[in-house]
Amino acid sequence: MSELNVEYEGLLFPKHVSSQESLRYAREDFQVRDDDVFIVTYPKSGTTWMQEILPLIYSNGDLTPVLTIQNWQRVPWLEHIHSRVLLEERPSPRLITTHFQAHMFPKTFFKSKAKVIYMGRNPRDALVSSFHYHGIASFLEDPGTFDEFIEKFLEGRVMYGSWFDHIKSWWPAKDQDNFLFLTYEEMLQDTRSTLVKLGEFLGKQLSDDVIETIANQSKFNNMKQNNMSNYSFVPTEMINQKETSFFRKGIAGDWKNHFTPAQTERFNSVYAQKMKGLNFPYYKD
């Protein structure tokens, strides 16, 4: 294991933001409230995008929160070192972000009515996005070659563990009333319909004008310009965005520009084996 990671319950977490204590606290001690709303994602699946959208839904389209509060403060991370400080005293309803698999979730969650919005993304695109992110973030391991990174990803030797374990851990919850499963691709294709779905799930009446405002503010190019969302405040030594931006491409299917036919075949065969018997919307390609 790299010295950049901390291991907890057999999974790797970046030491830069999590510790044994913060992970233990999140799981064992964190008190979930019935009106908490969690964004749950596997890394590089559109977390930041959802951190823009949810506050705008709760502000009824008022841009103030997303233009004045950093995303990690407006929708804090459950597993991060500062979660206790940022979340314990926060008035309800709390919006909370996490990359946790279901079995890592706070124990109090399972007795609560708190809601989960799970955002999935084609794992091939999450892999490509993650590969580039590892290249610009000094607190993450060197990704190695793309070929090497594919193997690490397929084996789950990456931060927050295996994509397959992540989605499989949450999939059984998909029909529960307090769970909404969305995909990056559907949100990209039709943001407005996704916003309507989110409004219904969260019990928020959103007018057409408000939906328009949220859809506009959460566009890739607008978020890329938003200093409260684009991580520009992070020093270059931590995240070097000079050549590759955190807001890199924001498209579906970029993996096709990265995978060779042999890599595609290798990925698909592991995918077929690991996802066997699961009626999951991803994707031969």
Please list every residue from 194 through 223 that binds ligand A3P, using CB under 6 A. 218-220, 223
Q: Is 179 helix (H, G, I), strand (E, B) or coil?
A: strand
Contact 45, 128 (CB under 8 A): no
- Tell me which of 16, 80, 99, 134 is the catalytic residue: 99
Of the candidates 192, 249, 266, 274, which one interacts with ligand A3P according to CB under 6 A?
Answer: 249
Cross-strand partners of 119:
41, 182
Contact 124, 260 (CB under 8 A): no
| Segments in the chain forming alpha helices (H) | 20-24, 47-58, 64-68, 71-74, 83-87, 123-136, 146-155, 163-170, 184-189, 191-202, 208-217, 220-225, 261-274
Q: Is 82 a catalytic residue?
A: no
Q: What number of chain residues touch ligand A3P (CB under 6 A)?
A: 21
Judged by CB, which is closer to ligand A3P: 40, or 113?
40
Judged by CB, which is closer to ligand A3P: 84, or 234?
234
Of the candidates 48, 97, 101, 226, which one interacts with ligand A3P according to CB under 6 A?
Answer: 48
Judged by CB, which is closer to ligand A3P: 27, or 99?
99
Of the candidates 27, 44, 134, 166, which one interacts with ligand A3P according to CB under 6 A?
Answer: 44
Contact 231, 246 (CB under 8 A): yes
Of the candidates 5, 18, 22, 45, which one interacts with ligand A3P according to CB under 6 A?
Answer: 45
d(CA 90, CA 19): 22
Stretch binding ligand A3P (CB under 6 A), from 74-82, 155-163, 205-213, 245-253: 245-253
Cα pseudo-dihedral 189, 46, 152, 156, rounded to 10: -110
Please list every residue from 61 through 90 that binds ligand A3P, using CB under 6 A. none
User: Amino acid identity of 68?
Assistant: T
57 binds ligand A3P (CB under 6 A): no
Residue 126-155 contact track with ligand A3P, rule CB under 6 A, x = bound:
---x--x-----------------------
122 binds ligand A3P (CB under 6 A): no
Contact 18, 6 (CB under 8 A): yes
Query: Which among 119, 152, 144, 121 is positioned nearest to 52, based on CA atoms?
Result: 119
Judged by CB, which is closer to ligand A3P: 188, or 196?
188
Q: Which amino acids are annotated catalytic? A: 99
